[in-house]
Chain A
Amino acid sequence: MSGAGPWAPIPEGVRCELVDGKTAARHVVYALLREGEAALDLSYTNEQGVELRWNWPLSHLRHVEGQSDLKWGQAPLGVYTNVMTPTARLYVRDGRLRAALETDAPNLRRKTPMTGKGRLAGLIAGAVASVAFIVFVLIPLIADQLAAGLPIEGERALGDKTYQQVRDSLGTVLPLNECTGKRGVLALREMEAKLLAVSDLDREAVQLTVLDHDMINAFALPGGRIVVMRGLIDASEAPEEVAAVIAHEMGHVAHRDPTRHALRSVGTFGVLSLVFGDFAGGTVVLLGVNQLVNAQYSQGAESAADAYAHALLPKAGVSPGALAPLFERLREEYGDSEGIASHLASHPKLGDRVTRAEEAAVGFEASDAPFMSPLAWRELRAICGDESSDKKSKSNSVAP
């Protein structure tokens, strides 16, 4: 301990702190900025009294990422490294030296060039392709296989669960009201029985339910529950129009589309929430339920359900063309492809379906007995209670 200690002469330069990136010792160094040589001289006397010197050319100085504007109380704290010894750190608390370094060192903000861009691009492409394969090929494939093997009890349980989810998500505070007007339900059962009797489905395969909502919509759930929104009944001008929509949904039930769809979404939602992370929590869930209500089956499944309805309706004494007037009115109101306001309106190519419904109706001869008595139809329209039905039918009615 000869040269060091309290009696050693104070070296020239500004007192700074240095860690060399080799040991966890922090050294007090004296830094001297040599303007002419564009370099920073650092000198340090170790415990053995040996003076060590480093020379850092100013062009080698770099900011440490994320530490370029640190504070030390009110004063700025400069943190620098040397591109040649990237684990070394120089801590400058002297305001004047820091200001001089900030102006004189030319490459402070230069970053190490990014490597492996090609690898990164490949990784992104590979990940996107794999996830797309899982979501669009693998999950639908497995879901379709499983849907065919699900026993009816399991299917009903799955349907009841989704039914609750739909009611919860569409209701504001309480779950959405199920319409249970006594005479209305009787009329609904009558329609259900009539359509089931002429179909190839079991007597218990389908259960009709009306929910109290403005949406002009009807959809099938796993296990054969078909939900008709009050808005649809209000928008229909004849019971045959409602029957035609229900026949279409029965087609989905017969083909087990809702079960396939529900199983698919079990897999898909999990993966989607994974991709987007939890940045907005339940958003994905929200979207998911929305998707369920506006169930978009494939074009093929829709055509198959239409064909099913076209075959079924004449047997029940309803023209397959009964779908057409409702669609026409919806088209006038919402346009051909815009307007997700209603499930029916959102089906692709409404015009085509109207044409096909009318084609199927060619040669159909109406029987004398009406599909449903005017009294039963009035009672069905009042299934959610008179008041709401009257109000809505006014605002939704189309030009007489």
Chain B
Amino acid sequence: MAQLLNTEFEGRVGPVLRLSLWTAIFTVFTLGFYRFWMKTRLRRHFWAAVRPDGTPLEYVGKGIEKFTGFLIALVFLALLIGVLALLLVYASYVLFNEDFEAYLVAALIAVPLIYFASYRAKRYVYARTRWRGIRFALEPAAGKYALVAMGHLLLTLVSLGLLWPRMTFKLEKFRTDRTFFGDQRLQQGGKWTGLLPPFLPVLLSVWGPAIAGGLIAWRFSDMTEDDALMIGLIPFLIFLGMLAALFFYTRYRVVALRYLANHKTAGSVGLISNLSFPSILGINLGGYILTNLATAAATFVVGALASLILVVIFPGLSDFGIFASGAVSEGTSIGEEGMPSAEITVFFALFLYMVTFLFFSVFRQCFVVFPTWRHYASTLSLTGGEHLAQIRQRDRDEAGQAEGIAEAFDLGAAI
């Protein structure tokens, strides 16, 4: 009697909107320092909405853990970013008279660090996630993970992208095989070649225009007037290729996630995912349209209210009406009679910018992230539920420094 356990999703947009709005406002008013608590609260909310077999997931992380982890990482990173950036920019200007090379070297240093940080961040989140009272865990192996990732990245580069799905698979396997639910180790089954078919269209949309463009450029290198049209085709081809690549890569991500989920097991317990690419595409398209509309509307309302206050203080602005705050932020007529000074201009430019940013992140949370989670959760089932009884609790993993470095790079920005 293999038990199939479905996942319920209990959540509404209203509470998500309320929570993300007030935490975002708090974050702005604390100059960003509330962000650790904001993320913690959002996670608790999102975790509790996901209910495999009706039992909510639990996020037991604390804002203060994230904050102290960030403080420790900050000292290390301040040295790295402050001093190293300075030295790199200097060396770059001495050697090349430009700073492009400095950014290149900085990126080369940053890439393994990002993999390292993302592994540690995952370890913290897993260690603070529970279901049915049982802890999840990820074994500490961030350094090795970064090394392995670098190797795969190199192979992918050398193979002109062909081995990208292999990297996706191997890195996922690296993490999954070190993941525990209670005392039960998870296992990633399947083969990397399973991810190749959905990746081929991505490759073709990158390689195709590249080859075609190269051919055109080579064939018409001694160009006459008539050939100008053919050369003009190249940017068009590149644009088409990029558009197709974006579409197929989004599809690849969804299909890969589904394949990898369907081949994960925890002992005799398995996963079934029915993730659908059209749904995800629809959620993203509709979600971002809604997000932008709502952001524009909300920013307009706040801008109009601010204009009202400005017009009362600076009568010279009354011609602008509800657009006064916009005019001020653009620096119209600074310092003239009855007009605001430059400081007020800078302040309003900042204010409107922050308001727009804040609303965008809040609405994105509600209209894109939330529906995506709902879709992920409600298409997920567990098989072999009767074997869950054999899984036993594990000890708590301190996962010290929480997300530390990842915090600074803003990895996993959503939640």
Contact = CB atoms under 8 A, between A and B. Distances in A.
A145 to B, nearest CB: 9
Interface in A124-139: 124, 126-127, 130-131, 134-135, 138-139
A263 B354 contact: no
B297 interface: no
What is the interface residue range for chain B against chain A? Answer: 35 or more
Interface in B75-91: 75, 77-79, 81-83, 85-87, 89-90
Contacts of B4: none
A276 B32 contact: yes
Contacts of B342: 215, 340-341
A134 B408 CA distance: 17
Interface in A155-213: 155-158, 161, 172
Given A131-B74, A263-B90, A24 B388 contact: yes
A24 B10 contact: no
B358 to A, nearest CB: 8
A340 B345 CA distance: 11
Most chain B beta-carbon contacts within 10 A, residue among A24, A134, A277: A24
B121 to A, nearest CB: 14
A120 interface: yes
Contact of B78 (A77, A274, A395): A274
Interface in A271-296: 271, 274-283, 286-287, 290
A158 B79 CA distance: 23
B193 interface: no
Given A279-B35, A280-B353, A23 B391 contact: yes
B246 interface: no
Contacts of B389: 23-25
What is the interface residue range for chain A against chain B? Answer: 35 or more
Contacts of A67: 44, 48, 56, 58
B55 A66 contact: no
B10 A70 contact: yes
A131 B75 contact: yes
A98 to B, nearest CB: 15
Interface in A329-346: 339-341
Contacts of A127: 71-72, 74-75
A29 to B, nearest CB: 14
Interface string B41-84: 10011011000011110111000100010011011011101110
B85 A266 contact: yes
B78 A130 contact: yes
A53 interface: no
Contact of B93 (A21, A150, A274): A150
A271 B82 contact: yes
Contact of B77 (A19, A149, A172, A274): A274
A79 B353 contact: no
B316 interface: no
A23 B47 CA distance: 20
Given A23-B390, A267-B85, A279-B35, A172 B331 contact: yes
A275 B71 CA distance: 9
A282 B356 CA distance: 12
B276 interface: no
A138 B131 CA distance: 47
A368 interface: no
Nearest to B386: A25
B241 interface: no
Interface in B354-401: 354, 357-358, 388-393
Contacts of A123: 68, 71-72
A261 interface: no
Contacts of B388: 23-26
B237 interface: no
Contact of A395 (B56, B130, B336): B336
Interface in B1-44: 10, 27-28, 31-32, 35, 41, 44
B231 interface: no
B31 to A, nearest CB: 6
A266 B89 contact: yes
A268 interface: yes
A135 B308 CA distance: 40
A277 B392 contact: no
Contact of A286 (B41, B331, B349): B349
Interface stretch (A2-10, A30-38, A86-94, A375-383): A86-94
B370 to A, nearest CB: 15
B410 A278 contact: yes
A22 interface: yes
Given A70-B10, A276-B32, A21 B75 contact: no
Given A66-B48, A154-B97, A283-B354, A131 B341 contact: no
Q: Which 8 A-B pairs have the closest CB atoms?
A: A66-B44, A154-B93, A25-B389, A279-B32, A127-B71, A21-B133, A24-B391, A267-B86
6 contacts: A20-B133, A24-B134, A142-B86, A146-B90, A267-B86, A286-B353
Interface of A: 17, 19-26, 64-67, 70-73, 77, 79, 87-89, 91, 114, 120, 123-124, 126-127, 130-131, 134-135, 138-139, 142-143, 146, 149-151, 153-158, 161, 172, 214-215, 263, 266-268, 270-271, 274-283, 286-287, 290, 339-341, 395
Given A24-B131, A71-B10, 6 more contacts: A123-B72, A130-B78, A134-B78, A149-B94, A267-B82, A280-B353
Interface of B: 10, 27-28, 31-32, 35, 41, 44-45, 47-48, 53-56, 58-60, 64, 68, 71-72, 74-75, 77-79, 81-83, 85-87, 89-90, 93-94, 97-99, 130-135, 181-182, 330-331, 334-336, 341-343, 346, 349-350, 353-354, 357-358, 388-393, 407-408, 410, 413
